[in-house]
Amino acid sequence: MKIYNTLTKQKEEFVPIEEGKVSMYVCGPTVYNYIHIGNARPMIMFDTVRRYFEYKGYEVNYVSNFTDVDDKIIKKANEEGVSSEEISQRYIAETKRDMEALHVRPATIHPQATQEIDGMIEMIKTLIDKGYAYPVSDGTVYFAVRRFEEYGKLSHKDIDDLEGGHRSINVSGDEKRDPLDFVLWKPKKEGEPYWESPWCQGRPGWHIECSVMSKRYLGDTIDIHAGGEDLVFPHHENEIAQSEAANGVPFAHYWMHNGFLNIDNKKMSKSLGNFFTVRDIEEKYDLQVLRFFMLSAHYRSPLNFSADLMASAKSGLERIRTAGERLLDLKTKAAGDVTEDEKKLLEEAKEYVTKFEAAMEDDFNTADAVSAVFELVKYANTNVDEKSSAGLVECIYEMMKDLMDVLGVDLKAKEDDLDAHVQEMIEKRQQARKDKNFALADQIRDELLAEGIQLLDTREGVKWKKV
């Protein structure tokens, strides 16, 4: 299995620290609002990575945090006149609800920053003792970037270029020794939550949180650290500096980063009016379609979200599910074990499973893995019929189901989802007929028939059945 490592800028053979086990840390969201579809991409992608490891028999310790103390949370709390804790707990619950709807499995543990303050204070003390950090008179503690000689190794940035060209990322402060030094602990402001520390009443900087949570739940060195590519610098770069300076060992062996999500070829932003939460998408689509759409591209590639591409993903998923429904229907009518003649068909079908696995082993290329599923669907539609044994039908169905389980997408649509989809199509067809757009009405009927749904025009209205 090969993984593209951001640290080395090349694909590397995956060798776990402990045989048969994978330790994985994925940066989670800051919980001050509903998650948007940009947040959903790493959640879906790295959940799929985890699922594939488990499919291959690995025991995965998967840690993904919630950042529950942050300027945005405090701002939202002040706007609503409630505590920061109330905001963060509300949106942790909402995020978990959205994750479940996206079929993102709960992490082995979801640590919260506010519950790990003692560990952060201890790590900051260690960094001060080792000469990698220093406090100033107002109680702020800074990390001395130039003391960590390998700073920039993840983002491949030269430290001198950073000082000259990236001053916007620096934290201002009169007593800061170097413009690049970043905050580990900062004093409270009026109305902010705070904790006692040796330096002042205050709260941690963002970067130290993940270093401490990763260390506590996974150890000093982990197999995989993952997140969106926007986190490479400065967040992940700073995590490496803190963790390796404090612990004296490599922080993570493999760094994985997903590409950006654009909306109609533009960056998602509230000012452009193209900002979508997962809840917004759920009003129009089954969230399984969103997940399937996101897996149709390689995780390191930029992904463009559009209505047309979502419609294509919806159609593709329905094609797979229709094939699954057909196999289940054939199974109820079939009998007997796999025959000698059918064993050859089964071996040929297994080639698509091999193709799927080869795609996933090549840096988790879900785009090619999805293509292999479509090839298996085509093979099943062509080679499995009413004459097939129950054994063959069941084996092919289970193959298809296992691959879809790795992708985190149900092969069988929920009945209520199917009902809603068919009803929506019937209403569109009825409107088309009212508008005397008979070509569109016929097109909708044919589309449903292709999905295995036959419409029946009766005196009582339009009825439908599976065929």
* DSSP track, 283-298: TTS-HHHHHHHHTTS-
The residue assigned the tokens 């059945």 is 465
Q: What is the strand order of the sheet 252-258 is part of?
A: 59-64, 21-26, 222-228, 252-258
% of the chain beyond a pLDDT of 90: 82
3-state helix, strand, coil in the chain (%, to 5): 50, 15, 30
**pLDDT at position 179 over 90:** yes
For the residues 344-348, what does the mean pLDDT come to?
96
In this model, does residue 411 exceed pLDDT 70? yes
Mean per-residue pLDDT, 87-95: 97
- Which of 27-31, 123-127, 174-178 comes out lowest in average pLDDT? 174-178
pLDDT of residue 138: 96
- The residue extents of the domains of the chain are 2-258, 310-407, 415-466
Token pair, residue 87, equals 């905001």
User: The whole model's pTM is what?
Assistant: 0.88
pLDDT category, 402, cuts 50, 70, 90? very high
Instruction: State mean pLDDT over 273-289.
Output: 92
Number of helices followed by number of strands (H, E) in the chain: 15, 15
- ω before 234 within 30° of 0 (cis)? yes
pLDDT of residue 110: 98
What's the confidence (pLDDT) of residue 103? 97
Residue-level pLDDT at 170? 46
CA–CA dist 253, 59 (Å, integer): 17
The per-residue pLDDT for 166 is 44
Q: pLDDT averaged over the chain?
A: 93
pLDDT score recorded for residue 416: 57
User: Does residue 169 have a pLDDT over 70?
Assistant: no
Burial of 24 (0-12, 13-18, 19+ CB in 10 A): buried
Domain 310-407 - what CATH class? Answer: mainly alpha
Q: Average pLDDT in the 353-378 region? A: 98
pLDDT of residue 167: 46
Torsion from C-alpha of 339, 344, 347, 351, nearest 10 degrees:
-140
Q: What is the model's pLDDT at position 460?
A: 64
Q: In CATH, what is the architecture of 2-258?
A: 3-Layer(aba) Sandwich (3.40)
pLDDT band at 121 (very low <50, low <70, confident <90, very high): very high
431/224: higher pLDDT: 224
What confidence category does residue 451 fall into, taking pLDDT thresholds of 50, 70 and 90? Answer: confident
pLDDT at 463 over 80: no
